[in-house]
Amino acid sequence: MKKTLYLFKKHFSHLKAPVKFHYFCSDCSIVLKDSTDKCPNQKKHKNKTQVSYFLEIPLEHQIRTLFKRKGFADNILSRLTRKKEHPNNIEDIYDGQLYKELVDSGFFSENKYNFTLTWNSDGVPVFNSSKTSMWPIYFVINELPFKLRFKKSNVLLGGIWYGSKPIYSKMLEPFLSSLSTLRRGLDIQLNEPNEEVTVQGVLLAGTADLPAKADFMGIKHSGGSCSCTVCKIEGKSVKANQEIQTKSVVLEDGDSTESENETSEKNKPKKSKKTGTSVKQKRVGSVWVFPYSNSLDLRRHEETETAGEQALDLRSKARDPDRDKVHVLGVKWPTYLSKIMPDMIRGMGIDDLHHSYHGVGHKLLELWTLPKYKSMPWSISSRIDLIDDRMQKVCLPNFVQCGVRTLSNLSLWKGQHMKIFLLYLALPVLEGILPVQYYNHFATFIHCLYVLNSSSISPEDLIFCSKELDTFVRQFQELYGERHMTINIHNTLHLCFVVNNLGPMRCFSCFPFESLNGEMLKMIHGTKYVQIQLANCAYLVLSFPNEISNLECPLVQDFAKNLHHSHQKVKLLECVSPNVYAAGNYIDLKNVHVDVINSLRLAGKDPPSCIFFNKLKIGSNLFVAQTYKRATKTASYLVSYNSNSSKRYAIILYFVKSPGTPSLNVSFQAAIQSINVRGFSTDRYLKKIKHISRYTISQEITFIDVHLLKNICFSVQVEGKDCFICERNNWLEIE
């Protein structure tokens, strides 16, 4: 046993990451030999030259470590044995056109263990008192099952930039060599089966927020012409009038008058005021917008690569003040992505976190609720209190990790809050509040967002969503005006294009990568050598499963696994069947509702001989009966279940264990109240909404076998209106 922290760390010293440092001048980006090397161009620099560096963790070493892990090779092959809901539907990245083209090229026929990668990078502030940030670059193996794909022990950390804003070409340059080596093939020793194989890897896809994506692709940011990364739309600049509250201040000498902005402390007069009047002034600014167009010219990989070379040549000839303005079709410089990805344009995703939730969704909520739009026909700012009241009464299922936040605290919403609100709560909560034409328009976006991230997307769904989203963008301009046609609204036109190429939106979402960034921050335990700390800790996490499997004592193995994998702590009472457990606490018969007891008697059962409990765990789902009084903030009792090959819905009141007889085995049942479900709306604009329904509760209590239970649903009850049931769009993502 290691009794000191020093000895404990020394025990794992053999698991330190084999890192490489790449040094260069932070001013002109020229490559340097080491941290003491001087830039040959330093006489031309205005400021003192600083040496920057990028820390690379070789991918080859990490991949070999993963393939040594027991069961990893089998997980890589899971795509070959997966069960699809429908053979022609898009259900994962393997069903996207880009992956299919790779299969048709014979890439996987060379070796069944070949794999593809998806990359991501984003800046994360490390310390509150410093402007420095870290930029980890992640690689995810697409062939792993989705639930394993984004686990921190399966994600490759390619490198870390630590400091100010990175030079993106220097982050990608080291991977030109390592990914080329990977494409040619690596000799790998498998654990199970015990054989040596040569595996190849291809960087197929990537995802990032808008600024990072533009910088990595060498394209202009969204505030300028030709800045869409998918098409060559130019856009235009429009005036953006903003009303500013100002004060006309009369100073003590009575001779001078000064106008100041209320938010500016700098211009406040130091003398006391005798009188002051409040006036409104308009500040005329401009914003770059992308008006609706039904004929978009899409970018192509080779064309973008050529444009980058042309832009670099033009920039070298331009004068210093004009150099940053030079571009060719929005492309400012060549990028290494064009060298390491088969198709840089089709391979870049439009992620739902920054586009759909923080982008379009947040934009709509601001338009509806901000006071500066209160005179607009779409404004509901005067009814925020009513919306808040409805939202405060919503109880979410226990699988949702975030709570409900009110609309008056919109500035505190994170991506997960926005996702839950938009997909499941917004339509029931805003019914009767948002004006009809704006409500119907909003419902179009929500429906398409739900479908494009569902567990199975049919070709017909994709065509329908493409038409609907085209209508949504066109009507957005008509309803809200050209001034609000920002890049996120425009990119909505490209969602179906990206899904067709890369699979459902969850395959290129930034949500799991944001979680990984949070895990990375937890690995920092000091202010010195932060990037070395991160590299070593990340490699330790990658290697830890192998260390656990090498432990000889099974009890120690189980203990280490429990420490390594956090999971929901539930008191298990007994095993019902494989992967099904009675949980929670047993309930005394005297505390069981009399209607349930009477229903048991009608069903031919003896209530005193039955055992009642309030929780049931099936796989990762924890069903909680409505009568469990301690669950005041969650509602996990509204469920779907199988009944004669059809799906029905019910509210769980209790779980009941009935004793066996000579002719019958012990049975586990759920006491339920069935609910009667009808469509969300018969309106021609809203009848397309299928994942939300209205329901009424039946008073009859019946009993069903617990193995018939399927999923937990969202329940939204609006006071004075209907109750709504909402089905989760997929059970692969973490809510």
DSSP string covering 273-320: PSEEEEEEEEEEEEEEE----S---B--HHHHHHHHHHHHHHHHHS-H
**What percentage of the chain has pLDDT greater than the value 90?**
63
Give the model's confidence band at 255: pLDDT under 50 very low, under 70 low, under 90 confident, else very high. very low
Tokens of 414: 């994170």
CA quadruple 124, 127, 130, 134: dihedral positive or negative?
A: negative
Q: How do beta strands 723-726 and 611-618 pair? A: unpaired
pLDDT at 267: 42
The residues spanned by each domain of the chain are 13-216+511-564, 236-289, 353-452+458-502, 572-726
Residue 252, pLDDT above cutoff 60? no
pTM comes to 0.88
What is the DSSP code (8-state) at residue 137? E
Distance of alpha carbon 425 from alpha carbon 445, whole angstroms: 14
Of 34, 32, 30, 27, give the one whose Cα is nearest residue 48. 27
pLDDT at 251: 38
Q: How do beta strands 201-207 and 723-726 pair? A: unpaired
Q: What is the pLDDT of residues 436-460, one digit of tens each?
A: 999 999 999 999 999 999 999 999 9
| Least trusted range by pLDDT, from 252-266, 417-431, 503-517, 618-632 | 252-266
Identify residue 511 by its one-letter amino acid code. Answer: F
Q: What is the pLDDT of residues 679-690, one digit of tens each?
A: 999 999 999 999
Residues sharing a CB contact under 8 Å with residue 192, sequence separation 6 or more, in sequence order: 70, 71, 73, 74
Neighbours of 478 (CB within 10 A): 11
Are the beta carbons of 560 and 548 closer than 8 angstroms? yes
What φ, ψ does residue 90 adopt, rounded to 5°?
-90, 115
The residue-averaged pLDDT of 38-63 equals 77
Neighbours of 89 (CB within 10 A): 18
Give the model's confidence band at 274: pLDDT under 50 very low, under 70 low, under 90 confident, else very high. very low
Residue 275, pLDDT above cutoff 50? no
Distance of alpha carbon 356 from alpha carbon 415, whole angstroms: 10
Give the model's confidence band at 388: pLDDT under 50 very low, under 70 low, under 90 confident, else very high. very high
**CATH architecture group of domain 572-726:** Roll (2.30)
pLDDT at 321: 66
Give the model's confidence band at 266: pLDDT under 50 very low, under 70 low, under 90 confident, else very high. very low
Tell me how long the chain is.
735
Neighbours of 531 (CB within 10 A): 21
pLDDT at 38: 78
Are the beta carbons of 724 and 693 closer than 8 angstroms? yes
Distance of alpha carbon 383 from alpha carbon 432, whole angstroms: 11
pLDDT at 2: 60
Distance of alpha carbon 59 from alpha carbon 182, whole angstroms: 8
The residue-averaged pLDDT of 567-577 equals 84
Q: To 10 degrees, the CA torsion angle through 518, 519, 524, 530? A: -80
Distance of alpha carbon 712 from alpha carbon 727, whole angstroms: 8
Residue 734, pLDDT above cutoff 60? yes
The residue-averaged pLDDT of 611-638 equals 93
What is the Cα gyration radius of the chain?
Answer: 29
Tokens of 425: 């709560």
Residues sharing a CB contact under 8 Å with residue 602, sequence separation 6 or more, in sequence order: none
Residue 138, classed as helix, strand or coil, is strand
pLDDT at 282: 57
Give the model's confidence band at 44: pLDDT under 50 very low, under 70 low, under 90 confident, else very high. low
The residue-averaged pLDDT of 503-513 equals 95
Of 329, 328, 336, give the one whose Cα is nearest residue 311. 328
The most confident of 2-11, 32-41, 442-451, 716-725, by mean pLDDT: 442-451
